[in-house]
């Protein structure tokens, strides 16, 4: 049997955990962007939803507590939650910062309890040690686990046995099935399938004629046959994207370009970690009116070194830049390929390539020891500071309360930080 663990209002619940005086209050994060990024259960119950502007949310809930998103503390809680799950099973897929799939098959005798008992103990440990709640779903497949979690929100534990699959699928709309998008849902409805149960009960041959491989995988999963396998550790990517929002919006051309260069450094850093590179790069700028302007370009050979991309990116940037105010930049490295062995082009000095390889090997080692942007390109200098400078750009608590030995750029990997303020 498989288990899906999903954090309840994860970002907001973490704030309530490290600041106990916020427990029971409507809390949201996203102050730095003026848009609700996450809402606590109390806020959701009063009508606040993700994506609302702070202005609209305050009209619905005047006493709303609005906080900046503390990504560092979230990452610490995420790691700790996944570590707790691994106490009970070695087969864990970290599906997101607040989600995980785990394989419990064959572990009942080892833990001397049922699958539900294993999940309940895990749930208690997460709540007791982290001060947050999670919802758990047990089922034969990932898709059914997702449906179980939806049934159990918040803080529940729902188990779907093979004999009860039809009972749970009867009132699940096709658009609410995991991995079924709007187009597929519309197609299924057109052919008379309104619910997950109706979809499941169609003959296999019928679905094969109607849907492609992902749709067939979903059909198998709803029928209790595991078709979406575990990916315990990511070994490669088809593409890598990095973006960053900054406030207030800026009309400073070099500042916006610096933000874009920082995106490229982050994307290349991740690509090198998986020994991948690209010849195709996409950049985009987002205006303060949320309109995106993008362009695609290529370089001569596969690379993951920012220095080799900056020249092409500068030309692309000049083509899309228009005077005005911008609030975000982003970059995509697409069609990723293995990085090694890297071959010089016909007119390229191979010594230069060897030096780049040695240089970025050393840079990656420095970043491992001293922080992500301990060493960076001079072109990204203007972006190596607080991304949000305004009345909304509060500094998260984890950045204000440095521990001995920490700096603004390097933090100790402590599992969590409990702060009790009165």
- Name the residues annotated as catalytic: 99
Pure H helices in 39-141: 41-45, 54-60, 71-86, 108-111, 115-130
Which token pair is 29?
A: 């994060």
Which token pair is 250?
A: 């800026």
Distance CA 161, CA 54 (A): 42
135 strand-pairing partners: 6
Give Cβ neighbours of residue 255 (< 8 Å, ≥ 6 apart): 382, 383
176 half-sphere exposure, CB direction, 13 A CA radius: 17
37 neighbors 50 (Cβ within 8 angstroms): yes
Give Cβ neighbours of residue 10 (< 8 Å, ≥ 6 apart): 38, 74, 77, 97, 98, 132
Which token pair is 241?
A: 């994207």
Assign residue 14 a region: left if phi > 0, alpha if psi is -120 to 50, beta otherwise?
A: alpha
Distance CA 144, CA 182 (A): 19
């Amino acid at each position: 049997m498989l288990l899906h663990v999903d954090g309840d209002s994860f970002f907001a619940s973490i704030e309530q955990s490290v600041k106990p005086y916020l427990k029971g209050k409507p809390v949201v994060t996203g102050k730095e962007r003026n848009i609700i990024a996450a809402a606590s259960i109390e806020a959701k119950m009063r009508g606040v939803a993700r994506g609302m502007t702070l202005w609209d949310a305050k009209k619905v809930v005047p006493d709303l507590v609005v906080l900046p998103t503390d990504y560092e503390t979230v990452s610490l809680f995420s790691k700790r939650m996944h570590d707790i799950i691994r106490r009970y099973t070695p087969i864990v897929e970290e599906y997101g910062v607040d989600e995980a799939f785990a394989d419990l098959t064959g572990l009942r005798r080892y833990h001397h309890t049922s699958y539900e008992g294993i999940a309940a103990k895990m749930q208690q440990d997460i709540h007791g040690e982290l001060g947050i709640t999670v919802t758990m779903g047990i089922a034969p497949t990932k898709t059914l686990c997702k449906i179980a979690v939806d049934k159990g929100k918040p803080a529940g534990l729902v188990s779907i046995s093979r004999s009860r699959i039809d009972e749970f699928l009867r009132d699940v709309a096709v658009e609410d099935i995991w991995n079924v998008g709007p187009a597929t849902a519309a197609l299924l409805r057109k052919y008379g399938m309104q619910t997950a149960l109706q979809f499941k009960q169609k003959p296999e041959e019928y679905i094969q004629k109607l849907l492609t491989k992902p749709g067939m995988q979903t059909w198998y999963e709803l029928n209790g046959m595991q078709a979406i396998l575990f990916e315990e550790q990511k070994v490669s990517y088809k593409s890598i994207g990095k973006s960053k929002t900054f406030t207030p919006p800026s009309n400073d051309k070099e500042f916006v370009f610096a933000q874009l260069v920082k995106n490229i450094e982050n994307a290349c850093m991740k690509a090198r970690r998986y020994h991948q590179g690209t010849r195709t790069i996409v950049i985009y700028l987002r205006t303060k009116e949320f309109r995106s302007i993008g362009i695609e370009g290529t370089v001569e050979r596969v690379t993951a070194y920012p220095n080799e991309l900056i020249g092409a990116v500068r030309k692309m940037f000049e083509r899309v830049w228009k005077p005005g105010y911008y609030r975000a930049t982003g970059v995509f490295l697409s069609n990723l390929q293995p990085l090694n062995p890297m071959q010089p082009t016909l007119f390229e000095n191979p010594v230069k390539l060897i030096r780049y390889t040695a240089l970025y090997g050393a840079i990656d080692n420095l970043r491992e020891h001293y922080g992500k942007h301990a060493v960076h390109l001079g072109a990204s200098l203007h972006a190596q500071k607080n991304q949000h400078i305004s009345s909304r750009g509060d500094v998260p608590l984890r950045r204000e309360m440095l521990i001995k030995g920490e700096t603004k750029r390097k933090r100790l990997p402590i599992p969590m930080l409990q702060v009790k303020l009165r």
